[in-house]
Amino acid sequence: MTPAPPPGRVARLRDVLQLRFTPLFANFPPAVLATISPANPLRRLARVLAYVLLRLVGHVVQPVRDPGALGGKVWLYVVSPNNYDSLRFIAQARPDAVLVAGQGKQVGRHNAAVHRLSLRRKLLYYWQYPLVLRGLVRLEGRKAWRFFDLIFYAIGYYEVYRRALRRHRPRAVVFANDHNDDTRSLLLACRAEGVPTAYVQHASVSTYFPPLGFDLSLLEGQDALDKYRQCGPVRGAVALVGMPKFDAYLARRNTAPQVHRVGLACNIHDPLPALAEALAYLAAALPALALTLRPHPSDARDFGPLRRQLPQLRWSDARQQNVFEFLETQDALVAADTSTHLEATLLNVASVYYRFGTNPLSDDYYGYVAHGLVPRAADLSALGALLGALARHKPADLYRRAAYYNAALGTPDEGHSQRLAARVLGEWLGALA
Q: CA 307, CA 320: separation in Å to the nearest integer?
A: 19
Residues 342 and 425 reside in one and the same domain: no
Q: Are 323 and 344 in contact (CB under 8 A)?
A: no
pLDDT in tens, 192-226: 999 999 999 988 999 999 999 999 999 999 999 99
Phi, psi (degrees; rounded to nearest 5) at 100: -130, 145
- Sequence-distant (6+) residues with CB within 8 A of 358 are none
Residues 358 and 321 reside in one and the same domain: yes
Given a cut of 90, is residue 68 above it in pLDDT?
A: no
- Domains in the chain, number: 2
Please report whether residue 2 resides in a domain: no
Domain span at residue 334 reads 248-404
Q: Are 95 and 110 in contact (CB under 8 A)?
A: no
Given a cut of 70, is residue 65 above it in pLDDT?
A: no
Nearest residue to 206 via CA among 19, 28, 62:
19
Please report whether residue 4 resides in a domain: no
Highest mean pLDDT among 16-30, 241-255, 372-386: 372-386
Q: Helix or strand or coil: residue 267?
A: coil
pLDDT of residue 109: 78
**Global confidence as pTM:** 0.91
Please report whether residue 271 resides in a domain: yes
pLDDT grade for 298, boundaries at 50, 70 and 90: confident
Q: Helix or strand or coil: residue 354?
A: coil
Q: What is the CATH number of the domain that holds 254?
A: 3.40.50.2000
Residues 164 and 17 reside in one and the same domain: yes
pLDDT in tens, 219-256: 999 999 999 999 999 999 999 999 998 999 988 999 99
pLDDT in tens, 172-187: 999 999 999 999 999 9
Residues 53 and 194 reside in one and the same domain: yes
Residues 255 and 296 reside in one and the same domain: yes
- What average pLDDT is seen over the chain? 93
Q: How far apart are the first and last CA of the chain?
A: 10
Please report whether residue 22 resides in a domain: yes
Residues 202 and 304 reside in one and the same domain: no
Residues 259 and 354 reside in one and the same domain: yes
Please report whether residue 99 resides in a domain: yes
Residues 83 and 123 reside in one and the same domain: yes
Beta strands in 61-139 (DSSP E): 74-77, 97-102, 115-117
Residues 185 and 312 reside in one and the same domain: no
Q: Helix or strand or coil: residue 55?
A: helix
Q: CA 164, CA 162: separation in Å to the nearest integer?
A: 5
Q: Are 276 and 293 in contact (CB under 8 A)?
A: no
Please report whether residue 410 resides in a domain: no
Please report whether residue 218 resides in a domain: yes
Q: What is the CATH number of the domain that holds 226?
A: 3.40.50.11190
Q: Helix or strand or coil: residue 54?
A: helix
pLDDT grade for 82, boundaries at 50, 70 and 90: confident
Residues 317 and 366 reside in one and the same domain: yes
Q: Helix or strand or coil: residue 42?
A: helix
Q: At what angle do helices 157-168 and 181-193 cross, to 10 degrees?
A: 50
pLDDT of residue 390: 98
Residues 239 and 252 reside in one and the same domain: no
Please report whether residue 411 resides in a domain: no
pLDDT in tens, 248-277: 998 899 999 999 999 999 998 999 999 999
Given a cut of 80, is residue 130 above it in pLDDT?
A: yes
Residues 54 and 177 reside in one and the same domain: yes
Specify the higher pLDDT residue, 319 or 123: 123
